[in-house]
Chains A and B, each alone.
Chain A
Amino acid sequence: MRKFKEFIVEKLILICGIASIFFVILIFLFLLKEGLAVFKTVSLFKFLLGKNWYPISEPPQLGILPLILGSLLVTLGAAIISIPIGVGCAVYIAEVAPTQTKEILKAGIELLAAIPSVVLGFIGMVTLVPLVKNVFHLPTGLTALSGSIMLAFMAMPTIVSIAEDALYSVPKSYKEGAFALGATRWQTIHRVMLPAASSGILAAVMLGVGRGIGETMAVMMITGNAAVIPHSILAPVRTLTATIAAEMGEAVVGSEHYFALFAIGIVLFVISFAVNVTADLFLHKRQ
Chain B
Amino acid sequence: MKRNSYRTQMIAFFFLFLAMLLIVVPVGLIIVIIVQKGLPAINWQFLSDIPRQGMRAGGIFPAIVGTVYLVMGAIIFALPIGLLAAIYLSEYSKDNMLTRLIRLAIVNLAGVPSVVYGLFGLALFVVFFKFGASILSGSLTLGIMILPIIITTSREALESVPYSFREVSLSLGASKWQTIRHIVLPNAIPGILTGTILGLGRAAGETAPILFTVAAFYLPQLPSSIFDQAMALPYHLYIISTQVPNVDAKVRYGTAFVLLTLVLFMNLVAVIIRYKFRKKKKW
Residues of A within 8 A of B (CB): 2, 6, 9-10, 12-21, 23-24, 26-27, 30-31, 33-34, 84-89, 91-93, 96-97, 105, 107-112, 114-123, 125-127, 153, 156, 160, 184-187, 189-190, 207, 210-211, 213-217, 221, 241, 244-245, 248-249, 253, 261-262, 265, 268-269, 272-273, 275-277, 280
- With a CB–CB cut-off of 8 A, which chain A residues contact B83? 16
For B33-54 the 0/1 string (1 means CB < 8 A from A) is 1100000000000000000000
Can you give 10 A-B contacts (C-beta < 8 A)? Answer: A20-B105, A31-B120, A34-B123, A109-B27, A112-B27, A114-B267, A116-B206, A184-B9, A244-B116, A248-B212
Contact A16-B108, Cβ < 8 Å, known A96-B16, A213-B113, A214-B114: no
- With a CB–CB cut-off of 8 A, which chain B residues contact A109? 23-24, 27
B57 CB within 8 Å of chain A: no
**B183-241 interface with A by 8 A CB criterion:** 201, 204-208, 211-212, 234-235, 237-238, 241
Among B30, B110, B267: residue with most chain A CB under 10 A: B30
* Contacts between the two chains (Cβ within 8 Å), count: 264
Contact A268-B177, Cβ < 8 Å, known A116-B205, A116-B234, A119-B259: no
Contact A262-B259, Cβ < 8 Å, known A116-B207, A241-B115, A245-B115: no
Bound CA–CA A88/B17 (angstroms) = 8
Q: Chain A residue with minimal CB distance to B114? A: A216
B103 to chain A, nearest CB (A): 8
Bound CA–CA A14/B89 (angstroms) = 9
Bound CA–CA A31/B9 (angstroms) = 52
B263 CB within 8 Å of chain A: yes
- With a CB–CB cut-off of 8 A, which chain A residues contact B264? 111, 114-115
Contact A186-B105, Cβ < 8 Å, known A34-B123, A110-B267: no
Bound CA–CA A21/B110 (angstroms) = 12
For B120-150 the 0/1 string (1 means CB < 8 A from A) is 1011100110000000000000001001100
A194 to chain B, nearest CB (A): 11
- With a CB–CB cut-off of 8 A, which chain A residues contact B8? 184, 186
Q: In the complex, are the beta carbons of A127 and B33 less than 8 A apart?
A: yes
- With a CB–CB cut-off of 8 A, which chain B residues contact A262? 119, 123
Bound CA–CA A87/B22 (angstroms) = 12
Bound CA–CA A30/B30 (angstroms) = 38
Residue B111 contacts which of A21, A122, A156, A214 (CB distance < 8 angstroms)? A214
Q: In the complex, are the beta carbons of A190 and B23 less than 8 A apart?
A: no
A10 to chain B, nearest CB (A): 7
- With a CB–CB cut-off of 8 A, which chain A residues contact B201? 114
Contact A214-B23, Cβ < 8 Å, known A116-B234, A116-B259: no
B65 CB within 8 Å of chain A: no
Q: In the complex, are the beta carbons of A245 and B237 less than 8 A apart?
A: no
Contact A88-B260, Cβ < 8 Å, known A248-B122, A280-B107: no
- With a CB–CB cut-off of 8 A, which chain B residues contact A160? 23
Bound CA–CA A17/B259 (angstroms) = 33
B2 to chain A, nearest CB (A): 9
Bound CA–CA A280/B106 (angstroms) = 11
Q: Interface of chain A, helix or strand or loop or mixed?
A: helix
Among A6, A88, A190: residue with most chain B CB under 10 A: A88
Lowest 4 A-B CB distances belong to which pairs? A214-B113, A116-B205, A88-B19, A17-B88
Residue B23 contacts which of A15, A89, A244 (CB distance < 8 angstroms)? A89
- With a CB–CB cut-off of 8 A, which chain B residues contact A207? 111
Among B127, B207, B237, B267: residue with most chain A CB under 10 A: B207
Contact A272-B111, Cβ < 8 Å, known A248-B118, A249-B212: yes
Residue A16 contacts which of B84, B206, B207, B237 (CB distance < 8 angstroms)? B84
Q: In the complex, are the beta carbons of A6 and B175 less than 8 A apart?
A: yes
Bound CA–CA A156/B12 (angstroms) = 20
B241 to chain A, nearest CB (A): 5
Q: In the complex, are the beta carbons of B116 and A27 less than 8 A apart?
A: yes
17 further interface pairs, Cβ-Cβ under 8 Å (given A31-B119, A186-B12): A20-B147, A21-B101, A30-B128, A31-B116, A84-B19, A114-B205, A117-B206, A119-B205, A123-B30, A211-B111, A215-B113, A216-B113, A221-B238, A241-B113, A245-B118, A265-B119, A268-B113
Q: In the complex, are the beta carbons of A268 and B115 less than 8 A apart?
A: yes
Contact A20-B151, Cβ < 8 Å, known A88-B16, A186-B8, A221-B242: yes
Bound CA–CA A272/B113 (angstroms) = 7
B30 to chain A, nearest CB (A): 5
Bound CA–CA A268/B205 (angstroms) = 21
- With a CB–CB cut-off of 8 A, which chain A residues contact B211? 245, 248-249
- With a CB–CB cut-off of 8 A, which chain A residues contact B101? 21
